[in-house]
Amino acid sequence: MPVDGHIVAADIHLPPGDTRPPVVFWHGILASLDLATELFVDPAAEPWIALSLPGHFPGVLPPHCKPADLDEALFARLYETALTQLIGSRSVIATGWSTGGFTALNLAIRYPQRVAAVASLAGFASGRRIAGMMRWFVWLAGRPLGRPAIRVGMRLAAAWPRGYAMLLGFLAADRQAAAWIPQDVIERMHHDFVRHNADSLVTALAALWSLDITGKLGEIAVPAWIAGGAQDPAVPQRETERIAAAIPQATLRLYEQAGHLFFSEWPRHREDFAAWRRSL
């Protein structure tokens, strides 16, 4: 879907006659639409839509897009416009992982009439609170001398599947958890990763440093499920707790021995997410 010069991609699963608000899912930075099915016990039985982050395949950034262009207002406008094209004014359960978590929270703040409930899985409210290796990636992507290094690293990870698996492993709680990432998930994510445009990903990474909705979280007036790993090396536990404390109707769920990878480290996340949605 063309929106303000961007192309937003969608994977859509809306069973005929199902009137429930669909789950709208945003993946994390450097990931892809394919992860949406990892949210559900039975993806075929659920209404859901997955939307691409800016510049992530098969989405496209407009020519000459700069990190400063990808601000909070643009993030929200892109997806409100895309959802209007897809489903009119139908309410949704805005849900995202990592940068997708920020995106879901941001939509709930700026377009409250769209969002019936919101879920953040290892999401952040401020890009400057990203930690570990991902913090270095974001910082380097915003520096003229760092951008070429990030591009080279991404191209190496695209050409070398084992290198991509190692990159994912840095987001796990520890080396043992990294070894448990399902091979089929790695293969599916790598399949899309090789199709990303490296320059677009560097632009998207650099934009994260300036994103901050911390002061607006209290405006979210719908139920929120704020989940995270207590051993997350990318989004610290205190950021997850800070988000939950700021949202009036938030439910906090911490997975004590888990890291950033909800799809492989969070036991019962599918059942927990389903139980929260049933409670709405």
Q: In which band, very low, low, confident or very high, does the pLDDT at 96 lie, cut at 50, 70 and 90?
A: very high
How confident is the model at residue 176, as a pLDDT? 94
**What amino acid occupies position 258?**
A
How confident is the model at residue 150, as a pLDDT? 92
For residue range 51-75, list pLDDT tens digits in order.
999 999 999 999 999 999 999 999 9
Alpha carbon distance 42, 5 (integer Å)? 35
Q: What is the mean pLDDT of residues 31-45?
A: 96
Q: What is the pTM of this model?
A: 0.97
Q: In which band, very low, low, confident or very high, does the pLDDT at 14 lie, cut at 50, 70 and 90?
A: very high
Q: In which band, very low, low, confident or very high, does the pLDDT at 141 lie, cut at 50, 70 and 90?
A: very high
Q: How far is CA 108 from CA 81, 95, 132, 202, in A?
A: 14, 10, 28, 26
How confident is the model at residue 248, as a pLDDT? 98
Average pLDDT value for the chain? 96
Number of domains in the chain: 1
How confident is the model at residue 84, as a pLDDT? 98
For residue range 233-253, list pLDDT tens digits in order.
999 999 999 999 999 999 999
Please list, in sequence order, all residues whose beta carbon lies within 8 angstroms of the beta carbon of residue 180, skipping any fewer than 6 positions away.
Answer: 172, 264, 265
Q: What is the mean pLDDT of residues 68-84?
A: 98
Q: In which band, very low, low, confident or very high, does the pLDDT at 278 lie, cut at 50, 70 and 90?
A: very high
Q: Tell me the percentage of the chain whose pLDDT exceeds 90.
A: 95
Strands 224-229 and 92-97: unpaired
Alpha carbon distance 204, 62 (integer Å)? 12
Phi, psi (5° rounding) for residue 258? Answer: -105, 155
Joined together, the tokens standing for residue 183 give 């091979």
Q: Single out the residue of 264, 267, 248 nearest to residue 256, CA to CA.
A: 267
Q: Tell me the percentage of the chain whose pLDDT exceeds 70.
A: 100
Please list, in sequence order, all residues whose beta carbon lies within 8 angstroms of the beta carbon of residue 5, skipping any fewer than 6 positions away.
Answer: 62, 63, 65
Q: In which band, very low, low, confident or very high, does the pLDDT at 43 lie, cut at 50, 70 and 90?
A: very high
Please list, in sequence order, all residues whose beta carbon lies within 8 angstroms of the beta carbon of residue 215, skipping any fewer than 6 positions away.
Answer: none
Give the highest mean pLDDT range of 139-153, 176-190, 219-233: 219-233
N-terminal to C-terminal alpha carbon distance within the chain: 31
User: What CATH number is attached to the domain comprising 222?
Assistant: 3.40.50.1820
**Domain residues for 126?**
2-279
Please list, in sequence order, all residues whose beta carbon lies within 8 angstroms of the beta carbon of residue 213, skipping any fewer than 6 positions away.
Answer: 72, 102, 105, 106, 109, 125, 126
